[in-house]
Amino acid sequence: MSRGRPFRTLVSLEEALERVLSRVGPVDRTETVPIDEALDRVLAQDIEATMDVPGFERSAMDGYAVRAEDTYGATDMEPLTLRPIGTVHAGEVPSGVVGRGECMYVATGAMRPEGADSVVMVEYTEEVDSGTGTGTMIRRAVHPGENVSRRDADIKEGTVPLRAGARLGASRLGTAAALGVLELEVYARPVVAIAGTGNEVRPLGEELGPGQVYDINTHTISAAVRGLGGTALVLGLVGDSHEALAQALDKALGMADLAVFTGGSSVGERDLLVDVFGERGEVLFHGVQVKPGKPVLAADCGGKVAFGLPGYPTSCLSSGMLFLEPVLAKMGRRPQATPVAVEARLGRRVVSTIGRTQFLTVRLEDGTAHPVFKESGAITSMAEADGYVIIPSNVDLVDRGEQVEVHLL
């Protein structure tokens, strides 16, 4: 009697992703957060400008506010002299009106005084003493509007500078701040319920017994979820029984947008997830043509996707990232990250597996990519890596010294 159930059919990575992505959609829930907590969130509502920014004309330079016509003809060789009538700093209201033949010193960002229509940069001026008093020598002519920022130069009242769907980086938060916005309505992050399985797996902090190992997977997957813009809801460890797994899956589906179970997805006699998932919905695939990560399982459980990831830590994290990155990008209304890649020479010969796309972890050193993969059960296979090389499913060998593309982690 067989004690396992071998994989009957493996699907390609491309087909697996297509099946999963067709079953998930963007999260529609929204929430209001303070502006200082909105970094990297996705805006859920247009922001309409209720004011001009700036709300006044201001100097774009340190210098002298003048009537442009009073500077015409001024050069280094033949400067013109104007009479200074005061100073205005940023945040102050000018105390006078610039008349013909007069000027007023203005700091960058200061309000343009009435009567002046331009600013001469301070480096083209010089204060001088004459028999009739202090004067300001102008060594360069300016045209009307030069070095003056007009009212609404940045944002015009009634326009929509920030639209729903925008990912809020520092500059977009600055735009909201310029309008005095204290809070922003954003889309909720996708909630991912994470459960670990395996009677041999123990929580951190407990003493290990014979044959037992610490829980790695719920920690790595929850960290990956947070890094990908999701909210991780760790349910803890679940026993290897049909009843316990079914209860945990029901709890996960009731609390989260996506469920991830680690371990129990393979074909051993205690790998029960495929049965539990099948009872709650439609199994989309069980077994993917990737290495590591062959035992990945996914199902549509009443409109919510549940994943079963391999129990071995490197296989779990590697395959988890392959699926969670595009899925959470779609659910979170975010663009999928484009991997940064560099060219390198492979440090040793690698024999792959025909029919499975291999993600080979490597360490970069002086332009050489040294493979660091040990086995699927060794988390340091990824912890010691700078990136990974993708070996296509139709390639069985990559020789030492061959040029490869390393996708940086």
CA distance 13 to 18: 9
CA distance 308 to 259: 9
Pick the CATH number of 31-51+155-187 from 3.90.105.10, 3.40.50.300, 3.10.580.10, 3.90.1660.10: 3.90.105.10
- CATH class held by domain 341-408: mainly beta
CA distances from 181 to 32, 33, 172 (A): 12, 11, 12
Tokens of 383: 């912890």
Say what the pLDDT of residue 378 is. Answer: 80
Domain 58-149 falls in which CATH fold? Molybdopterin biosynthesis moeA protein; domain 3 (2.170.190)
Its CATH architecture, for the domain 13-29+189-331, is 3-Layer(aba) Sandwich (3.40)
Q: Are 404 and 361 in contact (CB under 8 A)?
A: no
Angle at 146 between CA 140 and CA 148, to 5 degrees: 130
Terminal C-alpha separation, the chain: 44
Say what the pLDDT of residue 126 is. Answer: 94
Say what the pLDDT of residue 132 is. Answer: 64
CA distances from 83 to 66, 86, 102, 120, 124 (A): 10, 10, 5, 14, 15
CA distance 328 to 273: 22
CA distance 17 to 24: 11
Say what the pLDDT of residue 3 is. Answer: 46
How do 297-301 and 304-309 pair as beta strands? antiparallel
Spell out a b/e string for 131-148, using b for 16 or more CB atoms within 10 Å of the CB, else e: eeeebbebbbbbeeebbb
In a structure prediction context, what are the per-residue pLDDT tens digits for the chain, which is 409 residues long?
Answer: 344 555 668 999 999 999 999 999 999 999 999 999 999 999 999 999 999 999 999 999 999 999 999 999 999 999 999 999 999 999 999 999 999 999 999 999 999 999 999 999 999 999 998 666 789 999 999 999 999 999 999 999 999 999 999 999 999 999 999 999 999 999 999 999 999 998 899 999 999 999 999 999 999 999 999 999 999 999 999 998 999 999 999 999 999 999 999 987 655 555 789 999 999 999 999 999 999 889 999 999 999 999 999 999 999 999 999 999 999 999 999 998 888 999 999 999 999 888 899 999 999 999 999 999 888 878 888 889 999 999 999 998 999 999 999 999 9
Cα dihedral: 257, 263, 264, 268 (round 10): 160
User: Is cis: bond before 54, omega within 30 of 0?
Assistant: yes
Say what the pLDDT of residue 265 is. Answer: 62
Domain ranges, ordered by start, for the chain:
13-29+189-331, 31-51+155-187, 58-149, 341-408
Summary count for the chain: helices (H), strands (E): 7, 26
Tokens of 129: 């003493």
Q: Are 406 and 384 in contact (CB under 8 A)?
A: no
Phi, psi of 277 (to 5 degrees): -60, -40
How do 403-408 and 397-398 pair as beta strands? unpaired
CA distance 4 to 307: 20
Phi, psi of 279 (to 5 degrees): -70, -30
